[in-house]
Amino acid sequence: MSHPERLQTRIDAYLMQLRRSLGELPPEEVADILREIRGHILERADAAGDMSEERLVAILQALGRPEDLAPLYQAEALVARARTSYSPTLLLRGALRWAMLSVRGFAIFLTGLVGYGIALGFLAGGFGKMIAPHDVGAWVSPGSFSIGTTNNPYAHDVLGWWLVPVGLAVGASALVGTTWVLRWSLGFAHLRRPMPGGSV
Amino acid sequence: MAQDADDNWERQVRKGWLELAILASIWSERLYGLDILRRLEADSDLIVAEGTIYPILNRLKRDRLVESKWVESQAGHPRKYYWLTAAGRRRTIAMARHAAGFLTRIQELLAPLLAEEE
pLDDT in tens, A65-120: 999 898 888 776 777 777 778 888 888 888 887 887 778 888 999 999 999 999 99
Whether the pTM exceeds 0.90: the reply is: no
Q: Is A76 on the interface with B (CB under 8 A)?
A: yes
First to last CA, chain B: 27
**What pLDDT was estimated at residue B2?**
61
| Nearest partner of B21 among B49, B72, B56, judged by Cα | B56
pLDDT of A171 strictly over 90: yes
Query: Is pLDDT larger for residue A196 or for residue B5?
Result: B5
Average pLDDT over residues B100-113: 93
Task: Give how far B112 is from chain A: nearest CA, Å.
Answer: 20
Facing A200 at nearest CB: one of B12, B55, B95: B95
Looking at chain A, the whole-number percentage of residues with pLDDT higher than 90 is 38
| Nearest partner of A116 among A179, A165, A167, A185, judged by Cα | A179
Average pLDDT over residues A46-53: 80
ipTM: 0.86
Give pLDDT tens digits for B43-75.
777 777 899 999 999 989 988 999 999 999 887
Q: Is A63 on the interface with B (CB under 8 A)?
A: yes
